[in-house]
Structure 1
């Protein structure tokens, strides 16, 4: 079972062979946006017949602000009718809000602060329908948590009396959307350190997944580089349709899971159910949750430090097993012995391409693990974390960090790490 990881922007992938399909969500055409009513100090007056769109838009914006605030209060106090009541009962938005209410409440939503993100725009071909982006600062479970943002598109109909929500568009900002709770009916379980959510059709798997996540959290917490543990680990288990949609989809075919930055110094973990054997879940959770604990808020781009980012996660994922029991050694042997399509012996060039063969991916993670394991065995976990912080968090060079933390030139340690990887085969 592969548990291979790759990094793209703030995204970190863990891999099992799995097919992926691209997702294309079309945007509806719309007319140019109107000036934002929020920029005006005076309250908007009620429109009358014949008023220009600017006047109507300003009036609608104020009403929508009020409805968003009322809806947020309803959600936090558990009032489903108040949350759903902003929608036209006959519209798709009503069904979406009912599902979202159930999921958000089961996730113990602790903060929900929506605000318009820009002006209203009248939809082309429909003078009664308007579109506006809404950014929601939100978080779950932890009272007093530091909220993170998500921006969604909303469409409203003006009936002359009160704007009514008729559509909620899934967030699609970069790789951040849609979030699982936006588009999937989830079953949720919450432990001491983790929140685990799965599609309702596989809710019978929740107890085992929660138990595994809670155990993984005790390991991942050790790798909080700056000493500040995540307030909560959020884990989402994706069936194939969810995997291809959540957070933009489009992962490499070997990906079995990933950790994705969602803002507010938070990461979500997603597991791919397709081909994920139950025996690999523990290792995969330790790996991904260690990314959550160890990475800086901005995440980490793929590149020269890939070996260290993935190496420390692989080290945690191995769960303290002896090196001889590490399950990638065969692929490491193949990688180190291959002249065509192999590796040039430099840790900074270890990262596999998105389309790499499974053995190449696995061997690369294996070398990262072995290099990290060598540093731990020689110097200690504490000093490895100090090295990780200097390089990944502070942007220091391996050369400077190695001398400062280990007291050894990096050129020497690099060669020792590679030699250790070769000898561990």
Structure 2
């Protein structure tokens, strides 16, 4: 009977081992008589090859990574030879402008074989760590044509995205620029206009020192300012080229992280003093408007331009500038001043209307500074211009009094000085 039991036990163990093995588990003896340890058999499935769109995405990610790292060869790697001159110009411009952040967003198109068009958006920032993944960054959009070549793809065409973007075409997008870099400012121009770079840089460095003081009041310090010098062709194309005929320069906010200044070379004054006022005015816009969430800026244009005039003319006081003559003449032609809140400009505004808005805003800012100090003035400006607060609550918070009182006092102050 003992032998029979052993035979049945052996058969049972054999069946059990077969059953366990068929379930994918192997019992390994421990060698010390303890219970065996179960080891699960792992089956590795072969990885599917990347789709064409995944290949393109990887190439684009590697390309923008090369841009940030300063790897020109890596930037040009997926670009067809015929398109490389433009890509090289973009790369060198962005590196000279101290690009410090990029984020790539690809438009998810249907997966396909052969040639394909892929749209993408590139967020970017210069000379700063203020860019955030949460939005508010400047961006540009493109549509690229990719064609298979060997086992990979190359870029053979580059066009606009087809979507409206006030930041395109940017000065750095199409042709290589000439640069002059100072401690606080980068100045760029078309190569044929490089003779202006050093003069403007010297002026802009002095203007930046003034703008920096007011950036402290607004909590909007700039790591670096950028000034582009535009010839007539560039003036009519950069950033859409839709600026009034009377404008000599403009500042364009780059999302919520800074702004670019563009100066029209053909209208630049020969006097460095006058040029300083122009550039100082535009840099004042950079520090007082850069992070604006005000969606009704047209109504506040008198204050937007007024604070820029106030900072732009420093160290001169309003009464020591030509804006005094502007107001004297304006009042003689159009009657006494009733309020500092000048109506917005329109496409039909004549020269005197434009000049009166700037001059009134300048004197209004000077009045508020004289009565309440620069710190409270900039608090008021920040609330109205950047945060979009109405004049009265902003005045109560900054000055401790209703705006009608400030308005009345400043109208009187201006009349006494013009």
Shared fold by TM > 0.5?
yes
Q: Which has the higher contact order (CA 8 A, sep 6+)?
A: 1
| Matching of residue 240 in structure 1 with residue 232 in structure 2 | yes
CA separation in 1, counterparts of 2:78 and 2:242?
34
- SS of the equivalent of 1:188 reads strand
Equivalent residue, structure 1, for 2:298:
303
Correspondent of 2:309 among 314, 317, 335: 314
Moved more, 226-235 or 393-402: 393-402
| Displacement after TM superposition at 1:259 (Å) | 1.5
Equivalent residue, structure 2, for 1:384:
377
| Matching of residue 217 in structure 1 with residue 208 in structure 2 | yes
| Kept after mapping to 2: 8 A contact 1:311/1:365 | yes
CA separation in 2, counterparts of 1:128 and 1:135?
23
| Matching of residue 412 in structure 1 with residue 405 in structure 2 | yes
TM-score, length of structure 2 as denominator length: 0.78
- SS of the equivalent of 1:223 reads helix
Equivalent residue, structure 2, for 1:99:
89
CA separation in 2, counterparts of 1:179 and 1:43?
42
Structure 1 residues 78, 128: CA separation in 2 closer, same or farther (over 3 Å shift)?
same
Matches within 5 A, 1:228-307: 228-279=220-271, 280-295=274-289, 297-298=291-292, 300=294, 301-307=296-302
| Matching of residue 400 in structure 1 with residue 393 in structure 2 | yes
| Displacement after TM superposition at 1:344 (Å) | 7.4
| Kept after mapping to 1: 8 A contact 2:103/2:124 | yes
Structure 1 residues 246, 362: CA separation in 2 closer, same or farther (over 3 Å shift)?
same
Per-residue deviation, residues 255-292 of structure 1 (Å, max 9, x unmatched): 11111122242211111223221423211111111111
Aligned CA-pair RMSD: 2.7
| Matching of residue 110 in structure 1 with residue 105 in structure 2 | no
| Displacement after TM superposition at 1:204 (Å) | 2.3
Q: Structure 2: 5+ residue runs without aligned partners?
A: 1-45
- SS of the equivalent of 1:195 reads strand
Structure 1 residues 347, 121: CA separation in 2 closer, same or farther (over 3 Å shift)?
farther
Structure 1 residues 395, 107: CA separation in 2 closer, same or farther (over 3 Å shift)?
closer
Q: Structure 1: 5+ residue runs without aligned partners?
A: 1-41, 47-58
Equivalent residue, structure 1, for 2:142:
153
CA separation in 2, counterparts of 1:273 and 1:176?
21
CA separation in 1, counterparts of 2:386 and 2:396?
17
1 or 2, which has the higher helix percentage?
Answer: 2
Matches within 5 A, 1:106-145: 106-119=96-109, 129-142=115-128, 144-145=129-130
- SS of the equivalent of 1:274 reads helix
CA separation in 1, counterparts of 2:52 and 2:337?
62
| Kept after mapping to 1: 8 A contact 2:288/2:385 | no
- SS of the equivalent of 2:266 reads coil
Equivalent residue, structure 1, for 2:79:
87
CA separation in 1, counterparts of 2:48 and 2:139?
28
| Displacement after TM superposition at 1:120 (Å) | 6.0
CA separation in 1, counterparts of 2:376 and 2:256?
28
- SS of the equivalent of 2:188 reads strand
- SS of the equivalent of 2:298 reads coil
